[in-house]
Chains A and B, each alone.
Chain A
Amino acid sequence: MKIVFHIAGGGSIKVPAAPGQNILELARANGVDIDAPCAGTGVCGKCRVKLVSGEVDGERSRQISDEDWDAGWRLACQSTVCADAELLVPATASAFRSGMKVAAMSKEDRAVFEHELTNMYVAGIDFTAPVFTCTVNMEIPTLDDPEPDCERLLRAMNGLGYKSVSYTLDAVRELPRVLRENNFSASLICGWRGEDVLVYGVRAPGRARACGVAIDVGTTSVAALLCDVESCDVLARAGAGNSQIRYGADVINRIIASNRPGGLEMLRSAVVEDTLNPMLETLAGEAGVELRDIVRVSIAGNTTMEHLLLGVDSDPIRTEPYVPAFFDLKGLTASQIGLKVNGSAEVAIAPNVGSYVGGDISAGVLATTLWAGSDFRLFVDLGTNGELVLGNSELMMCCACSAGPAFEGGEISCGMRATDGAIEEVRINNETREPSFRVIGGVEPMGVCGSGIIDLIAELFRAGVLSANGRLRDGARVRRDEHGTARYVIAETENGEISISDVDIDNFIRAKAAIYSAIDTMLESLGMDPSIIDRVEVAGGIGSGINMDNAIAIGMFPDIERRKYGYVGNTSLTGACAVLLSREAEAKLAEVGRSMTYLELSTYPGYMDKFVAACFLPHTDASLFPSVGGENNGVS
């Protein structure tokens, strides 16, 4: 039998198939990537494909309406081969792949990034480059002066004041040719190893560049910056989805996938071979540098991502008593990890703090300089999970709450990441219930990203379409399916309607409640209330479009003065970048990681109670949100 996959905006592929074969697995085996955040269990409804001709076997699942079923829509994970068929893979199903983007930083992001680096400098971090270049001129050897190239170079380096010099094998291999082509002059790419100098590469005079790359490995997306470390210039920036996502949307599903035979290598290779290496090549190409010129790498990720990236068994993180294999690793090199940069490049991995508070958070704390001041700050990273850090230079307390992937669009039927096609801003008219919205990239809307969902829920509540317990009220734009589940229709497009259902809203309310109750619990454990907070810094993939007023209106963040809130971008990447550029930042990061106190919420007695109280709009205790009007109030 033959199955043909037509990929939207791409080509077609015809593959042989056996009856009973799962369509999702068949697609993957043949390089057709279909996003299945639930790991193919039929829960998320994201792996929709459309039957163009022929047939496939499978039951209709809840995610497909009668109408869509008749139109040929099927869930790939719930369908099996039974005859020849042609299937259309829509752009949304493979959206995570299209994600690789090389983009100059947006103006806002760049401003935030530079602001944070400046703050770190002001806070006393010395940005002396850990890698550098230098040019040496040597005597040309003669029969009377037959000293080997390495010793000759050493002598020249001694002359420049570098006492102890050693070479990587790559450098020694490059040395004879470069010296003889350039009359025994060369530019070197060097790195400091304490007082000693290690030579990574030998180039023609004036042609050496000491580059490095900082990488944030998120559960959902990966971002990287290629820098000229010596000059602190950002040469290129790239972002892409984490290719591991096809094995599960969250860390728990990934860990489960890694436990299957060969799973650990499968996940390691997914992120290293399918995501990082292509990204490094793209970055280098964009910036016009060679991969071997990248001699320092700094990586920050959550505890599970760091384990899986390094091919370390992460299963103990998942089961009680939740013990990871490592917090802080030193002395790793690129060749050990399989990164296609200079094999001897030193790789700094941001230290983890707890099983569910990882290097991305310690790097984030480093970036926000929360460790430096006496003002009391709350740092919130809204990634695939929520992590919080509260404190100042004297104490730092952190916790993780299982908010789930809702802020990145996961577990929400219309949800998507903040990329082109995502509705990022919504307003709803009180009288007509008609929405108006803004789409990233100004294209046809495909779904709603985290900031859009916050707006949507706040606006629906304000307009009286949504009750305080998150139920949609019947009326214009609210439709019900055959099970009685209500949904609000935001837009109708060629690919079907974009709507948010009672179930989605429930999921999101639970996510926001997890964040709020975690903040509340952390404050309570310190005997403080929200008024103590001088500043709230919101980081993560939710996007700079987040409307703080609306986030407060739905009871996600405490009701304190809006001017105290700020969006700080991808702090994990900024922190990783600081480590890339400075050994002192690296040392500070290790110190920050050690000095954070981890609060385990699941064992904190009042947490569940606070969580239930927060599962309401804005909160069961309305007095906590004095500035938030009830329904139909405060509409402008």
Chain B
Amino acid sequence: MPFKRTPQKFNAAINAMTLGTGDNAVTIGGASVLPLYSFDGDIGNAPKIGVEISDLGLEGECVGMTEFYAGASTPAEMAAKAEKMPGADFVCLRLEGADPNGHNRSVEECVEIAKAVAGAISLPLVIEGCKNNEKDAELFEKIAAALEGKNVLFLSAKEENHKSVGAAVGLAYAQKVGAESSVDINLAKQLNVLLTQLGVKAENIAMNLGSAAAGYGFEYVASTMDRVKAAALGQNDAMLQMPVITPVASEAWSVKEAMVDEADFPEWGPQEDRGVRMEIATAAACLACGSDAVILKHPRSVATISAMVAALK
């Protein structure tokens, strides 16, 4: 019997969301087929890649990173280089230094950094917080105000701080809200419901469904993303049709394979290569499962994933 291909068509689509403004604006989402199933129909906007820089600079980064950013001493200078990184679609500023349990950088200082970064680039900007719920809420409110009109995405609003983040970022300053949950389809949907009940428009929400480095429980991520896409497309569930953005760099570079010194595990090979491979493997897996954008940091990872997207779209 000859093989008969049956395309999986859906009468629903992932929301398309535009970041940034003007000519350099970037749109993610829009697919009406399963992730990268271009043979079935419209995959909407091809997955996008963000380049992550930290307000803490290049502390502890490997040679490939320090070489790429050579000469850049401020986050703004780094951002200017980041947006030129081949394959970059947007820049992501991670305000690690704001963590009250770390450098505890003040909100005002962070606002200045964010303003400087936004002024230094023409690609869209994504702001990542310090993972402290209260501080993030405060931080996002002030930065959203300072960058009003720039159409910036903030990562992220969580169940604990969704009210203040949603109200400031989504309602008061009409920026984009990232909704972060921890690898659970129901929690993801609940947060979207809460944000929309607050008045944030569904089109202005992107989901960070949570991730894990490949090999560190990624099967949970894969099944959650699968089910989110199945519900969004198959059941036309409007509360799960938000595009998915996944910060990969921070996960991939914080596991043993990416961190241990070559001197301790000579048989594993150079540390930097391992980190890049973890980042690429994780990002590729995320895209295959349904991420509409991934956030990476190493130039080699960005180049590789960019080539992969170009080949598959």
Do residues A467 and B184 form an inter-chain contact, with CB atoms below 8 A?
no
Do residues B189 and A631 form an inter-chain contact, with CB atoms below 8 A?
no
Q: Tell me whether A356 is interfacial, beta carbon within 8 Å.
A: no
Q: Tell me whether B11 is interfacial, beta carbon within 8 Å.
A: no
Interface residues of A in 561-620 (CB under 8 A from B): 609, 612-613, 615-616, 620
What CA separation (Å) do A511 and B190 show in the bound complex?
18
Q: Tell me whether B186 is interfacial, beta carbon within 8 Å.
A: yes
What CA separation (Å) do A620 and B194 show in the bound complex?
10
Main secondary structure of the interface of A (DSSP, over half): loop
How many residues on B have C-beta within 8 angstroms of the other chain's C-beta atoms? 11
- Give the chain A neighbours of B189 by CB distance below 8 A: 620-621
- Give the chain B neighbours of A469 by CB distance below 8 A: 159, 190, 194
- Give the chain B neighbours of A616 by CB distance below 8 A: 186, 190, 193
Q: Tell me whether B197 is interfacial, beta carbon within 8 Å.
A: yes
Do residues B186 and A620 form an inter-chain contact, with CB atoms below 8 A?
yes
Do residues B197 and A620 form an inter-chain contact, with CB atoms below 8 A?
no
Tell me the smallest distance from the CB of B80 to a CB of chain A, in Å. Answer: 41
Do residues A612 and B194 form an inter-chain contact, with CB atoms below 8 A?
no
Tell me the smallest distance from the CB of A505 to a CB of chain B, in Å. Answer: 15
Nearest CB in chain B to that of A473: its residue: B163
Q: Tell me whether B25 is interfacial, beta carbon within 8 Å.
A: no
Do residues B197 and A468 form an inter-chain contact, with CB atoms below 8 A?
yes
Interface string of A623-636 (1 = CB under 8 A from B): 00000001100000
Nearest CB in chain B to that of A614: its residue: B186
Residue from A468, A612, A631 within 8 A of B184 (CB atoms): A612
What CA separation (Å) do A148 and B134 show in the bound complex?
92
Q: Tell me whether B26 is interfacial, beta carbon within 8 Å.
A: no
What CA separation (Å) do A621 and B190 show in the bound complex?
9
Nearest CB in chain A to that of B162: its residue: A469
- Give the chain B neighbours of A615 by CB distance below 8 A: 186
Interface residues on A, range: 10 to 19
- Give the chain B neighbours of A621 by CB distance below 8 A: 189, 237
Q: Of residues B159, B184, B193, B194, which shows the largest number of chain A Cβ atoms within 10 Å of its Cβ?
A: B193
- Give the chain A neighbours of B197 by CB distance below 8 A: 467-468, 630-631
Do residues A468 and B186 form an inter-chain contact, with CB atoms below 8 A?
no
Tell me the smallest distance from the CB of A383 to a CB of chain B, in Å. Answer: 27
Tell me the smallest distance from the CB of B234 to a CB of chain A, in Å. Answer: 13
- Give the chain A neighbours of B193 by CB distance below 8 A: 468, 616, 620, 622
- Give the chain B neighbours of A468 by CB distance below 8 A: 190, 193-194, 197
Interface residues of A in 369-422 (CB under 8 A from B): none
Do residues B194 and A467 form an inter-chain contact, with CB atoms below 8 A?
yes
What CA separation (Å) do A469 and B159 show in the bound complex?
9
Interface string of B182-202 (1 = CB under 8 A from A): 001111011001100100000
- Give the chain A neighbours of B194 by CB distance below 8 A: 467-469
What CA separation (Å) do A341 and B64 show in the bound complex?
88
- Give the chain A neighbours of B159 by CB distance below 8 A: 469
B interface residue numbers (CB < 8 A to A) = 159, 184-187, 189-190, 193-194, 197, 237
A interface residue numbers (CB < 8 A to B) = 467-469, 609, 612-613, 615-616, 620-622, 630-631
Some 11 contacts from A to B, beta carbons below 8 A apart, are A468-B193, A468-B194, A468-B197, A469-B159, A469-B190, A469-B194, A609-B185, A615-B186, A620-B186, A620-B193, A621-B237
- Extra inter-chain contacts (6) besides given A467-B194, A468-B190, A616-B193, CB under 8 Å: A467-B197, A468-B194, A609-B185, A612-B186, A621-B237, A630-B197
In the A-B complex, list the 6 residue pairs whose CB atoms are closest, starting with the nearest.
A613-B186, A612-B186, A620-B186, A620-B189, A616-B190, A620-B190
